[in-house]
A and B are shown apart, each in its own frame.
Chain A
Amino acid sequence: MAAKLIKTTLENGLKVMLKEIHTSPLVSAWIWYRVGSRDEVTGGTGLSHWTEHMQFKGTPQFPATVLDRAISREGGVWNAMTFLDWTTYYATMPSDKIDLILRLEADRMVNSLFNEKEVASERTVIISEREGNENEPIFRLGEAIQQTAFRVHPYHHEVIGDMADLLTISRDKLYDHYRTFYVPNNAVLAVAGDFDAKSMLARIRELFEPVPAGPVPPRLSRPEPPQSGEVRLTVEGPGETTYVQVSYRFPTATHPDFFPLTVLDSLLAGASSLNMFGGGISNKTSRLYRALVDKELAVSVSGGAMATVDPFLYTFTLTVHPERTPEQALAALDAEIERIQSERILKQEIARAIKQARAIFAYGSENITNQAFWLGYAEMFARYDWFLTYLDKLAEVTPRDVQRVAREYLRPQNRIVGTYLPNGKGA
């Protein structure tokens, strides 16, 4: 299966990534904008996510209901996501129907209406989304940790935004956000699947080149100063279950240490999957599962990093065993961290982590949507090559590298420890 790949930039600055994959009669198209919650200032938190919602409310050419109906009729799926660094819109369609999506994306890059009434009705929908999140203890704890970890850098708030801003953001503010960031020179269009790349590129030129480039949007850049000591916090709320999250400051995905850290994550907490679709594997023989869950200090443990543009966090999440205290669970976590920092790591452990990554890659390749996702996603924090060489980079990691990064990053001075304390029986 030689997959044909085209990378090019249109005259208006839109980057285009195309990959021919002829395994199913499907095409998946993704448009990525370099705008996310880190581009929002106080008073405007949640703007990027709300803007994403408004992009489904129609343009003069494609009124909301017409579009949704057209896509669904063809059996397509479409959706969107907003993250710290980016916002993306995708659709996966039968291959002969993808033109509709391309026309839509070119159109809503400039012509979305942001009708006042729709803004008002979406306000309550998003508030409801936030209230649903608040029902989850892990959301409350994660939000507290994030705002503690980032005082200066705009990673300090949740993507959904603060309630105070959701109540007050105006239509004009949303529209202004949209017009500032939704320009072709701030976007990547990635399409994968069953098409002829040359004619696909010609069609994309025809549809997207008329969209004029805009001023390069500003990107907030306020580096977080180094942390000078461990921070601990607690959040109290309903329930009977105690959770502990331990977040360490982590480098960006393009930092050379990202790969040894990925292996470290695999050894400690089990192989993580960065796939958006395709899933991962269990972690029951990871060091932390053995030390915490087998030893009945926690009932579950997981770890995970995210690929970000600026340094973010790596977080361990522990569900504390009902008969244990959060301090006991944390002590066991610390003992395992100390062990990996001081005792010899075997080569076989690393070989195992690489085989796991290879399998997870194969699972992710089963669907076109996930393959198209990577084509654009990697461009948001690195280049597509980052994805193509991912397994090779992991293979170069040595036991010494893993130990070095364990010592360097997993220091108490580099972390925030958050505990969710349940305030008794909910009812």
Chain B
Amino acid sequence: MAKNGKAMHSLPGAEDIYRRVLSNGIVILARPNFNSAAVTLSGYFTLGALAEPDDKLGLTDFVASALMRGTEKHSFDEIYNQLESVGASLGYDSGTHTTSFGGRSLAEDLPLLLRLLSDTLRTPIFPQAEVERLRAQLLTGLSMRAQDTADMADMTFDQIMYPGHPYSRPGDGWPETIQSITRDDMAAFHKAYCGPRGLVIAIVGGIEPKKAADAVERVLGGWKVEAQQSLPPLPTFTPNRQSVKRQIKIAGKSQADLVVGAVGVQRISPDYLAASLGNSILGQFGMMGRIGNEVREKSGLAYYAYSSLSAGVGPGAWTVSAGVNPSNVGKAVALVEKELTRFVRRGVSLDELSDSQANFIGRLPLSLESNGGVANAMLSIERYGLGLDYYREYEAMVRRVTMEDVLAAARKYIDPRRLGIAIAGP
């Protein structure tokens, strides 16, 4: 029914993703979308929680938030005044391996957005008064986390499954570590790790890609950090020998959250698509796959019940989550364990696999319709070396996955005798 096919989005690929590498190592990716009056800018750089000492947990998060709190040229209020006056936004979000940034504005205001990105990345001054304000906000966030049953179940799960490993540590730290972080810690951490090497930036929207790349090069092309350090390598971890269950009590709550699962797959692993399709069947497809069907539809135990697979640089968690009445926790955990056992014993049916394959392929246009969706797709291509034509070849790759592949992936990663079971509730 499309009347106007040429103006429409097609899937991004080698001939319409513009890629430029600057002499300082910055990688720029750009793709136009002239149907939009706005632009999205997003990317990442190699400042990550992997480099945090145990007694300073939350340092990366603190630094990332503080980048926007004052630079050599502009105060906190001046930075946000410039952004908000034109309806633009810009922010940083820390992670274990990288810190990401994201912003958007009307296309006419992209130069402003880039200037502020460069300014906040390169010359933050961590003003003491702002650091203290931020500290109080972070500590309040931690008090709220302690009351959030879903957050506490997730955090407890990571502690169970990654003993002694950086993935067991909460990115937002603990009250005592946030208290102990000084302004000088922050400045030193920024100086050591924040630099152009490893920085990737994607721009999508109502602007010519070459012009967008020129604009980036103008503000960030001259950035050099001679002593930019690399993050320490990700250590390996020792898997548990048996299932481990831990319950966190939060008094006065009406509902308990549970997380049950295993350690999953890396994004670059050849098993990734098989595991991802398996996860879809297990707890995503339709009204949340087999898990949704058993826990919500058939048993009426929960309003939400689903599985998720977080595949990143390292092996992320493969989990089932649900929110249930405190009196039903035992029943729900038993149901989930039963489903996980069935999943690794008998695998999936051809019908189930073909449903999820069709879903993966069919949802691409929707996930790539907005500027932000395309920017994220290009960043994944760059981060994991997927190749510029990844989304063009995606359909064939998804279709190649067999029932045997899914079963093998399920068995490789999920052992029902070695699960992590985390519960947070009254």
Task: Identify the A interface with B (CB < 8 A).
Answer: 1, 20, 22-26, 56, 64-65, 68-69, 71-77, 92, 94-97, 120-132, 134-135, 137, 194-196, 199, 237-241, 270-271, 281-286, 290, 293-294, 296, 299-300, 319, 321-323, 352, 355-360, 362-363, 365-368, 423, 426-427
Contact = CB atoms under 8 A, between A and B. Distances in A.
A25 B11 CA distance: 11
Contact of B3 (A56, A196, A284): A196
B139 A270 contact: no
A289 to B, nearest CB: 9
B84 A194 contact: no
Contact of A1 (B35, B89, B147, B252): B35
A240 B3 CA distance: 58
B397 interface: no
A24, A127, A423: which has the most chain B beta carbons within 10 Å?
A24
Contacts of A239: 143-144, 147
Nearest to B354: A73
Interface residues of B, number: 74
Contacts of A285: 77, 80-81, 84-85
Interface string B83-118: 111111101000000000000111000000000000
A203 to B, nearest CB: 11
B238 interface: no
A299 B254 contact: no
A427 B80 CA distance: 38
Contacts, number: 221
Contact of B36 (A128, A129, A362): A362
Contacts of A65: 286
B371 interface: yes
B361 interface: yes
Instruction: Classify the secondary structure of B's interface with A.
Output: mixed
A123 B300 contact: yes
B253 interface: yes
23 contacts: A26-B366, A64-B297, A69-B286, A69-B355, A75-B362, A75-B364, A128-B324, A134-B253, A135-B255, A137-B147, A238-B253, A271-B84, A282-B80, A283-B84, A290-B77, A299-B136, A299-B140, A321-B136, A323-B136, A357-B87, A359-B88, A427-B248, A427-B250
Given A75-B365, A284-B80, A359-B87, A22 B250 contact: no
A25, A120, A122, A128: which has the most chain B beta carbons within 10 Å?
A128
Contacts of B147: 137, 238-241, 426
A352 B255 contact: no
B1 interface: yes
B298 interface: yes
B206 to A, nearest CB: 9
A212 B362 CA distance: 35
Q: 9 shortest A-B CB distances, which residue pairs?
A: A75-B362, A359-B87, A238-B252, A75-B363, A121-B300, A124-B300, A129-B303, A131-B254, A356-B87
A123 B76 CA distance: 49
Interface in B198-254: 248-254
A237 B252 CA distance: 7
Contacts of B77: 284-285, 290, 294
Nearest to A281: B89
A29 to B, nearest CB: 14
A260 to B, nearest CB: 19
Given A284-B80, A368-B369, A128 B325 contact: yes
Given A367-B369, A427-B250, A355 B37 contact: no
Contacts of B85: 285, 352, 355-356
A300 B140 CA distance: 10
B299 interface: yes
B302 interface: yes
Contacts of A56: 287
B366 A77 contact: yes
Given A73-B359, A95-B1, A121-B297, A128 B37 contact: no
B123 interface: no
Contacts of B250: 238, 426-427
Contacts of A134: 253-255
Contact of A358 (B106, B300, B301): B106
B169 interface: no
A26 B364 CA distance: 11
Interface in B270-293: 285-287
Contacts of A426: 146-147, 250-252
A286 B303 CA distance: 37
Nearest to B1: A195
Given A68-B287, A77-B366, A194 B2 contact: yes
Nearest to B84: A285
B7 A23 contact: yes
A125 B255 CA distance: 12
Contacts of B91: 282
B225 to A, nearest CB: 28
Contacts of A123: 300
Given A196-B1, A282-B89, A72 B105 contact: no
A201 to B, nearest CB: 13
A96, A127, A132, A240: which has the most chain B beta carbons within 10 Å?
A132
B84 A23 contact: no
